[in-house]
């Protein structure tokens, strides 16, 4: 009986390695010497309640650019979606990966979690 319990506990613990972990920190930065191609035109579908559109972008796979299609992301309360963005830096082209970030949607300096109007940048 003790052997069965130990085996079951080991199996349960080993499955924890396969549980996805959501990262909320700033995404990794990819640096490439050649500029990415121009963004492809995507037809954005009609808005879906409770979802945010994540636009497509050029990704670097280690050898070449590949297009990642836009898709819907379930909205997350207290977070704003930041799209992936290529910027020309001192070492080449840098991709800042997009994703959900806790923050200040309207840029007024008040965090969303304590802002009475998180989408209104015009304070009077």
What's the alpha-carbon Rg for the chain, to the nearest Å? 20
Domain boundaries, given as residue ranges, for the chain: 28-33+51-112
pLDDT along the chain (124 residues), means of 10: 67 50 49 93 90 94 95 88 91 90 74 77 64
Give CA–CA dist 85/82, Å, rounded: 9
pTM of the model: 0.59
Give CA–CA dist 40/74, Å, rounded: 23
Spatial CA neighbour of 114 closest among 123, 103, 124, 122: 103
How high is the pLDDT of residue 21? 33
How high is the pLDDT of residue 29? 73
3-state helix, strand, coil in the chain (%, to 5): 15, 30, 55
């Amino acid at each position: 009986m003790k052997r069965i319990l130990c085996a079951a506990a080991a199996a349960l613990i080993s499955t924890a390695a396969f549980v996805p972990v959501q990262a909320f920190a700033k995404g990794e930065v990819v640096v490439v010497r050649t500029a990415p191609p121009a963004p492809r035109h995507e037809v954005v579908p009609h808005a879906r309640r409770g979802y945010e559109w994540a636009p497509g972008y050029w990704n670097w796979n280690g050898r070449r650019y590949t297009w990642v299609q836009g898709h819907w992301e379930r909205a997350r309360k207290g977070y704003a979606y930041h799209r992936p963005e290529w910027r020309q830096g001192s070492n080449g082209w840098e991709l800042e990966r997009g994703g959900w970030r806790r923050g200040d949607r309207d840029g007024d300096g008040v965090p969303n979690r304590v802002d009475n109007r998180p989408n209104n940048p015009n304070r009077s």
